[in-house]
Structure 1
Amino acid sequence: MSPAHRAPRRATESGPATSVNPGHRAPGLKLSRRHVLGLAALAAVPAATIGVLQFRSDDTAAEATNSPGRPPSTPPSASAPPKVVTEGGGVVPFRPGQAMLGAYLGLSGKTPAQARQLRREQLGREERIEHVFYGWADQLPASFPDLPSGAFPMVSWRGTKFTDITSGAGDEIIKRAARRLKSVGRPLLLRWGWEMNGDWYAWSPAKNGKDPAGYVQSWRRLHGIFADEGVTNVAWVWSPNWNSSPVADWNTYAALYPGDKYVDWVGVSGYNLRKESPDTLFGPVYRSYAARKPIMISEVGSVDRGGRTKADWITLFGKWVEAHPAVGAVTWFDTDTHPDYAEKWRIDTDAASLAAYRAMAASARFSG
């Protein structure tokens, strides 16, 4: 998650990860990283563009074209629907017409098991993806004993400086991680070094000499070591933020993409913080990669501005997924466990929001 459209920073750039899932949050921060990026990004956007960022019910390609940090995209012809994938996803396969619905779940006052039970009762279904976070030097899980048999874990694993990887200095950490995930013995999703196109993480080019090649080389080295360790149960999720910070040629999707050979799913983080429509947040990534890879909305949430604002955005988001067939997975940021923050991303902040989410979860589109 970005400072503009994600929850507060889960851990310091160089310090250990902490809390419910390692890497989930860092205590003591007083200003959300989402707000930090939002202020910086808006300051860099021309006044004529800012209006594009306002929430609208009609999702259009023009919104995404003019979003900050995104390369221009050409709206598809009305007479020729854009080509989208019909297969892919590696060991966590994409199923056309179906989208897996899961979450990062951290609820105040509840153990993980209690939180799962509450959502099971509220939604009448199991989560299909359980999203967890770990730091670079953490010991990754070797099992997920409480996960439903039909669900997939998604491990978001923090990165480090590029030279820690490209020099070979981190090889033992990578090998240990590979062996741990291999021992899980079931298919899982690995989301390493997410939101690399932001300037808030140690693995961003912005903090590594503006060198996108270093990120690509790091990703490929990890991928190669996992292969050498005989890991065959991992699907690789490459997951940028919806907008880039800073906006620069070296910080684009294309410059940071490891290559089709090394990616199974393309993810994207985006949050309705300032009335952004779903297409503003997710349209550019979708139009850039939906013909090549299945798309995952890997982090998403919505603030509540009173009334039905949050419920209506959830409904609109569900309709956006319905209209975009290459989306094969969604993981909601379903939590209220960040200390010192007013942001409450959980789905049941009010009855209307829960009802909207329940309706989305029960739809045929989310039957995956």
Structure 2
Amino acid sequence: MTAENPGGRGLPRRSLPALAVLALLAGCAADPAATDRVAANPAPPPSVAGSAAPATPAAVPSVSAPPSPSPSATTKAAAGRGGPVPFRAGRAMLGSYLSLGGKSLKESLALRRDQLGRDQSIVHVFYPWDGYVPSSEPAVARSSTLMVSWHGAPYAGINDGSSDRNIARVARKLAGMKRPILLRWGWEMNGDWFEWDGTHNGRDTAGYVKAWRRMHRIFREQGADNVAWVWSPNWNSGPNVSWNRFQRYYPGDDYVDWVGVSGYDFYNETPKTLFTAVCAAYGKRKPIILSETAAVDAGGISKAAWIAKLSSWVEDTPAVGAVVWFDTDTQEDSAHNFRFDTDRKALAAYRAMARSDRFSG
């Protein structure tokens, strides 16, 4: 998402064609034959993402598309993975970024606990690159996993060593929290809406990888062994061209604990369309986290129906180990309300998902 607000978030409205071809889509489904057509989205309105026209879908290079695993093979490969935040086969953690109008984080967590009958398995927060990072998150229960989206920065200022002190400081802060943390740095790097994406860094995808590995090393040196590294592209790339494929930004299996993906149904995309390409590319080797997602009511499928589709897709996709809802009605640059309790049916659908066996993790 783009255009940061004080809460650290914003909304990318550049809706581009999906990255994968049908052969890749089959790799993440429980039934390899159960594929879904990836359709090109209409050009977004100028007020949202300029006048960019939809690009022509391009096939993902074959080298980045692993063989389609069976569900059992996928589950076995991901079992025991996840680093300090372990993946549990057959179970998915369910959590949220929470920013509800007129409520503190503590109050928002209490409301969701009352509605769902359970605590958040993951609580998602955003920290600036070189600003204030707290020493603790007292509102977040110790039984919940903290997911920190740490803002990125231009690659040159990381790779030249000038940011080492800041990186080490943040590493010590997170280590000092003495709790398992999912660290999502420089997310949606394959978009064109952040200062840390490839477009704003001279198309230097290798520079992103180098920066990630440098930070990973510094965290290790600082003893931040409670941190699980979440690499999290957007579901489609902007621009949708070969140099900007999400695979080109991947730091390598030794530097990633979880693979995340951001995806919203702004143009009536199904969960399968949004998440299958990333899941198929990495789900055999790494547990998958839907690190930002939410449904909107925008003249298409209802929010309740989309939540039901999401629950069903996760049920059929064993590589998914976590889902994090973007639960807010305070997004300053968007008319969308991403809360799941905007109407009775949506709340009932989300409650049913939260109480299912699949989401008992």
Instruction: Judge conservation of contact 1:273–1:303 (CA < 8 Å) in 2.
Output: yes
Instruction: Judge conservation of contact 1:212–1:251 (CA < 8 Å) in 2.
Output: yes
| TM-superposed deviation, 1:212 | 0.5
Q: Does 1:230 align with 2:208?
A: no
**Separation in 2, partners of 1:326, 1:64:** 20
Q: Which residue identity lines up with residue 92 of structure 1 in the other structure? A: V
| Cα 1:75–1:288 shift into 2, 3 Å | closer
Q: Encode CA deviations 1:239-258: one digit per residue, 9 max, x unaligned.
A: 00000111222211221100
SS of 2:224's partner is: coil
Q: Encode CA deviations 1:149-182: one digit per residue, 9 max, x unaligned.
A: 2111000001111001000011111011011001
Instruction: Judge conservation of contact 1:70–1:252 (CA < 8 Å) in 2.
Output: no
Q: Normalising to structure 1: TM-score of the pair?
A: 0.84
SS of 1:63's partner is: coil
| Cα 1:142–1:314 shift into 2, 3 Å | same
Instruction: Judge conservation of contact 2:95–2:122 (CA < 8 Å) in 1.
Output: yes
Alignment match, 1:71? 60
Q: Encode CA deviations 1:44-97: one digit per residue, 9 max, x unaligned.
A: 99xxx9xxxxxxxx995352598957727879779x557312220000000000
SS of 2:37's partner is: helix
**Separation in 2, partners of 1:325, 1:233:** 25
SS of 1:34's partner is: coil
| Cα 1:313–1:160 shift into 2, 3 Å | same
Which of 311, 315, 322 is 2:308 aligned to? 315
| TM-superposed deviation, 1:342 | 1.3
**Separation in 1, partners of 2:35, 2:107:** 41
Alignment match, 2:12? 34
| TM-superposed deviation, 1:335 | 0.3
Alignment match, 1:262? 255
Map 1:1-368 → 2, pairs under 5 A: 1=1, 9-11=3-5, 18-19=6-7, 23-25=8-10, 33-35=11-13, 37-38=14-15, 41=16, 60-64=34-38, 68=57, 71=60, 81=71, 83-84=73-74, 85-305=78-298, 309-339=302-332, 341-368=334-361
Instruction: Judge conservation of contact 2:3–2:333 (CA < 8 Å) in 1.
Output: no
Instruction: Judge conservation of contact 1:60–1:279 (CA < 8 Å) in 2.
Output: no
| TM-superposed deviation, 1:279 | 0.7
Q: Which residue identity lines up with residue 10 of structure 1 in the other structure? A: E
Percent pairwise identity: 51
SS of 1:83's partner is: helix
Gaps of 5+ in 1: 2-7, 12-17, 26-32, 50-57
| Cα 1:139–1:117 shift into 2, 3 Å | same
**Separation in 2, partners of 1:220, 1:75:** 23
| Cα 1:83–1:64 shift into 2, 3 Å | farther
**Separation in 1, partners of 2:246, 2:300:** 36
**Separation in 2, partners of 1:286, 1:292:** 10
Gaps of 5+ in 2: 23-30, 42-56
Alignment match, 1:14? none
| Cα 1:142–1:284 shift into 2, 3 Å | same
**Separation in 2, partners of 1:363, 1:72:** 37
Q: Which residue identity lines up with residue 161 of structure 1 in the other structure? A: P
Instruction: Judge conservation of contact 1:89–1:294 (CA < 8 Å) in 2.
Output: yes
SS of 1:330's partner is: strand
**Separation in 1, partners of 2:286, 2:336:** 32
| Cα 1:178–1:108 shift into 2, 3 Å | same
**Separation in 2, partners of 1:340, 1:255:** 30
| Cα 1:340–1:238 shift into 2, 3 Å | closer
Q: Encode CA deviations 1:11-36: one digit per residue, 9 max, x unaligned.
A: 5xxxxxx24xxx235xxxxxxx433x
| Cα 1:159–1:77 shift into 2, 3 Å | closer
Instruction: Judge conservation of contact 1:178–1:226 (CA < 8 Å) in 2.
Output: yes
Q: CA RMSD in A?
A: 2.6
**Separation in 1, partners of 2:323, 2:187:** 15
Instruction: Judge conservation of contact 2:68–2:280 (CA < 8 Å) in 1.
Output: no
Instruction: Judge conservation of contact 1:76–1:82 (CA < 8 Å) in 2.
Output: no
SS of 1:61's partner is: coil
